[in-house]
Chain A
């Protein structure tokens, strides 16, 4: 995108006050977040756990939260607030360093009303000094090196300019160059063939600020290679632009002299929504192209590597389908850093929507016959911006997988052992996302006891359990997981279940009907129940679960 020169000239004449700084910080955060996966993928030092980008984003996010509601402030006060927010939210090694950089920066602009080029260079110098004080043995080739090079370059630039925007340009250029040099300073980076992740993150923060000045977009990453597993094909589909009718996905092994920059450049000439993923030496390219160019990416990639798989789809044909799916889309609760995120297991679309409306941050599909894996759980919460996670397995066979997910993640996870859907829903009502993890989980676990759970399903074999005789094909009722009745019809099964559960001593009966039971039939049965239990409230909700005609909550 071209630089908006008129905008730059306008901004150049304006002084940078607290409000301008707010927008710069927001731009730095946004651009960093846009490139978060790129930074994560670079993370090999000091511990290759792939969380540098996330940690830096969380730290910047905390800084932004601190200032986003502030009104008019001097640059000194605004920077002090940024520093405080960054300190409080500092996560991980790079986050702590970033917070120290802000602390030094804030010291550099202390007492100033507005920011000029001289002050900016001085503040960047203070940022470097403060950051270096926090470590006995600074390792070179890291974010610290980048901060030092930035400070040195801006101090030197003062001889030729005192314009704040020009100083910022110098800073971004210096950061870029310093990042490129990090592999020379830190052998472990060179071995892995990457540049330093924290340094790259700092570069993105600075570049985001400059892009804001230039009026450039902060939402689309310029060029990035992400792990194949994190490529978002679904999201890409929504950005279909007119004329870009074909989606082409190519898996390939690049030849030795593969140059990512050139590759991107060539793809940009062909189409839009470009994504490139990498995993174990294999690349996956995703692009949207016009009808007449649909073979061009394939021909091009054949020339630069070995193609292993090609997939092509007509996007226009998919659009209708997408619209339909969109209607049923979940609106999950957003989670802020530090809040508690609840991951629920749900067997059906209707139940997922209900859980989402109660505040679930992620839904894992699963149930009686399709138990989610530990990996499914990890995927569900790994990218949530918080460390505090509560899992509601909602099925006794899934509790184990949930507990395993807890073992292998670095996040703090508590599994509230809900054995049924009604228990899970009861637990959701006790959720306080801002509370303390352990005590909230305890309250949710306590809520499990206040509800009785019924299930109506069809027997798949003939058996006798707990004194109940069942013929294959008959309707059976389970109360809290125990077989309590067999019946000839769903209606009769429900009535027997409610009797066994002593529904007349409770207040509310909620029926979640499954995907195989028509809505009208569910309503009819509910009416029968209402007549039998006039003192109780009877509700009908779409559950959408397979196998179970009804899941019943009695409370």
Chain B
């Protein structure tokens, strides 16, 4: 958990807070049609706990932020451009909101959605 303690008290930023920012930034990224749970077990756990941030995992030890994002991409888009945009957008939004440097963002393309074929 992130800490910033002064004599007046402390500010704590949870990985979940960071994940929320990343999650919303991802969903607004063009080409992303959904997020995917990291694996089946994770998917079940997150549906049971009604965890809304499936597909985003944040590792934050108070110093370095690492983010893993599992996305589903629209079939027919240039996948690496979409993934790159996601990484850029998420990095920008997290850094802007928290004033903290993001170390690593890994974008995993978990699947494609075919909405129509050419």
**A135 (CB) vs chain B CBs: closest residue:** B30
Determine whether B34 belongs to the interface, using a CB cutoff of 8 Å to chain A.
yes
The answer to whether A135 touches B78, judged by C-beta atoms less than 8 angstroms apart, is no
Binds B, one of A85-93, A301-309, A371-379: A85-93
Known: A134-B74, A136-B33. A92 touches B81 (CB 8 A): yes
Determine whether B31 belongs to the interface, using a CB cutoff of 8 Å to chain A.
yes
Known: A47-B88, A87-B77. A136 touches B34 (CB 8 A): yes
Known: A46-B89, A47-B92, A49-B88. A96 touches B76 (CB 8 A): no
Contact with A87, one of B76, B84, B85, B116 (Cβ below 8 angstroms): B76
Contact with A133, one of B34, B81, B84, B115 (Cβ below 8 angstroms): B115
The answer to whether A96 touches B88, judged by C-beta atoms less than 8 angstroms apart, is no
Binds B, one of A97-105, A334-342, A442-450, A530-538: A97-105
Known: A46-B92, A91-B81. A134 touches B33 (CB 8 A): yes
Determine whether B29 belongs to the interface, using a CB cutoff of 8 Å to chain A.
yes
The answer to whether B29 touches A93, judged by C-beta atoms less than 8 angstroms apart, is yes
CB distance from A123 to the nearest CB of B (A): 14
* Contact residues in B for A136 (Cβ distance below 8 Å): 27-28, 32-34
* Contact residues in B for A89 (Cβ distance below 8 Å): 78
Determine whether B51 belongs to the interface, using a CB cutoff of 8 Å to chain A.
no
A187 to B30, CA, bound (A): 19
* Contact residues in A for B78 (Cβ distance below 8 Å): 87-90, 95-96, 99
CB distance from A443 to the nearest CB of B (A): 25
**A107 (CB) vs chain B CBs: closest residue:** B118
A106 to B117, CA, bound (A): 12
* Contact residues in B for A46 (Cβ distance below 8 Å): 25, 28-29, 85, 89, 92-93
CB distance from B64 to the nearest CB of A (A): 17
A47 to B13, CA, bound (A): 23
- Chain A interface, >50% SS class: helix
The answer to whether B32 touches A135, judged by C-beta atoms less than 8 angstroms apart, is yes
A378-416, CB under 8 A of B: which get 1 and which 0?
000000000000000000000000000000000000000
Most buried by A among B27, B78, B84: B78
Determine whether B65 belongs to the interface, using a CB cutoff of 8 Å to chain A.
no
A135 to B30, CA, bound (A): 5
Those of B22-44 within 8 Å (CB) of chain A: 25, 27-34
* Contact residues in A for B88 (Cβ distance below 8 Å): 47, 49
A137 to B24, CA, bound (A): 9
Determine whether B82 belongs to the interface, using a CB cutoff of 8 Å to chain A.
yes
Those of B70-98 within 8 Å (CB) of chain A: 74, 76-78, 81-82, 84-85, 88-89, 92-93
A100 to B85, CA, bound (A): 15
The answer to whether A134 touches B85, judged by C-beta atoms less than 8 angstroms apart, is no
- Chain B interface, >50% SS class: mixed
The answer to whether B28 touches A135, judged by C-beta atoms less than 8 angstroms apart, is yes
The answer to whether A99 touches B27, judged by C-beta atoms less than 8 angstroms apart, is no
A89 to B78, CA, bound (A): 8
Determine whether A156 belongs to the interface, using a CB cutoff of 8 Å to chain B.
no
A326 to B43, CA, bound (A): 66
The answer to whether B31 touches A134, judged by C-beta atoms less than 8 angstroms apart, is yes
**A83 (CB) vs chain B CBs: closest residue:** B118
The answer to whether B85 touches A93, judged by C-beta atoms less than 8 angstroms apart, is yes
Known: A46-B92, A87-B76, A90-B77. A135 touches B29 (CB 8 A): yes
**A90 (CB) vs chain B CBs: closest residue:** B78
**A134 (CB) vs chain B CBs: closest residue:** B74
Most buried by A among B31, B74, B81: B81
The answer to whether A92 touches B74, judged by C-beta atoms less than 8 angstroms apart, is no
A95 to B31, CA, bound (A): 11
The answer to whether A133 touches B92, judged by C-beta atoms less than 8 angstroms apart, is no
* Contact residues in B for A130 (Cβ distance below 8 Å): 116
A139 to B32, CA, bound (A): 13
* Contact residues in B for A134 (Cβ distance below 8 Å): 30-31, 33, 74, 77
The answer to whether B76 touches A137, judged by C-beta atoms less than 8 angstroms apart, is no
The answer to whether A96 touches B31, judged by C-beta atoms less than 8 angstroms apart, is yes
A48 to B28, CA, bound (A): 15
CB distance from B22 to the nearest CB of A (A): 13
* Contact residues in A for B25 (Cβ distance below 8 Å): 46
* Contact residues in A for B74 (Cβ distance below 8 Å): 100, 133-135
A472 to B29, CA, bound (A): 64
* Contact residues in B for A97 (Cβ distance below 8 Å): 30
* Contact residues in A for B28 (Cβ distance below 8 Å): 46, 135-137, 139
The answer to whether B118 touches A103, judged by C-beta atoms less than 8 angstroms apart, is yes
The answer to whether B77 touches A100, judged by C-beta atoms less than 8 angstroms apart, is yes
* Contact residues in B for A107 (Cβ distance below 8 Å): 116, 118
A134 to B93, CA, bound (A): 21
**A99 (CB) vs chain B CBs: closest residue:** B78
A137 to B31, CA, bound (A): 10
The answer to whether A47 touches B81, judged by C-beta atoms less than 8 angstroms apart, is no
A364 to B73, CA, bound (A): 41
The answer to whether B30 touches A93, judged by C-beta atoms less than 8 angstroms apart, is yes
Those of A54-100 within 8 Å (CB) of chain B: 80, 83, 87-93, 95-97, 99-100
A87 to B73, CA, bound (A): 14
A48 to B93, CA, bound (A): 11
A134 to B92, CA, bound (A): 21
The answer to whether B85 touches A92, judged by C-beta atoms less than 8 angstroms apart, is yes
Q: Which 6 A-B pairs have the closest CB atoms?
A: A90-B78, A134-B74, A47-B92, A93-B85, A46-B89, A133-B115
Q: List 9 A-B contacts (CB under 8 A).
A: A46-B92, A46-B93, A49-B88, A92-B85, A95-B78, A96-B78, A99-B78, A133-B115, A135-B33
- Using A93-B30, A133-B74 as known contacts, list a sample of 8 further A-B pairs with CB atoms less than 8 Å apart, ordered by residue number in A: A46-B25, A80-B118, A96-B78, A107-B118, A135-B30, A135-B32, A136-B27, A136-B34
